[in-house]
Amino acid sequence: MGNKVLIIEDNEQNMYLLSYLLENEGYVVLQAFSGIDGINAAIEQQPDIILLDIQLPEMDGYTVAKKIRENESLHDVVIIAVTSYAMPGDKEKALESGATGYIEKPINPDTFMAEMYSFVKNS
């Protein structure tokens, strides 16, 4: 398992919390605050894991995941949707768009890393 995580998240508080949790575990954290910036960062930085919000400005996370999956060098990267979209069908839609896994917001800081690892190990 690599140590570079890209967080694509437009909410600064969520970005801070996720970054804090990951950095405490020794990860190098890359940040993008929009889908377009996230796609560009993924291509340029080649992260091991992408944490992807679904509700983003300009381009939603479903589209971002599809575009990331279209890039051959990113085809196998772990993409975890981290979202407050928790209606029936939202998880399936995230997985169909290319996400490896799905974690609902608000995240639980005590269990988040274990949830993330469950998707990383299964990939």
CATH of the domain at 113: 3.40.50.2300
pLDDT at 57: 87
Q: 28 versus 58: which is more confidently predicted?
A: 28
Task: Write the CB contacts of 89 (distance below 8 Å, at least 6 apart in sequence).
Answer: none
Which band of pLDDT confidence, cut at 50, 70 and 90, is reported for residue 122?
Answer: low
The structural domain count of the chain equals: 1
Question: What predicted TM-score, i.e. pTM, was given to this entire model?
Answer: 0.95
Tens of pLDDT, residues 31-71: 999 999 999 999 999 999 999 999 998 899 999 999 999 99
Residue range(s) defining the domain that contains residue 114 = 4-122
Q: 2 versus 6: which is more confidently predicted?
A: 6
- Could you count the other beta carbons within 10 Å of the beta carbon of residue 74? 18
- Decide: helix, strand or coil at residue 30: strand
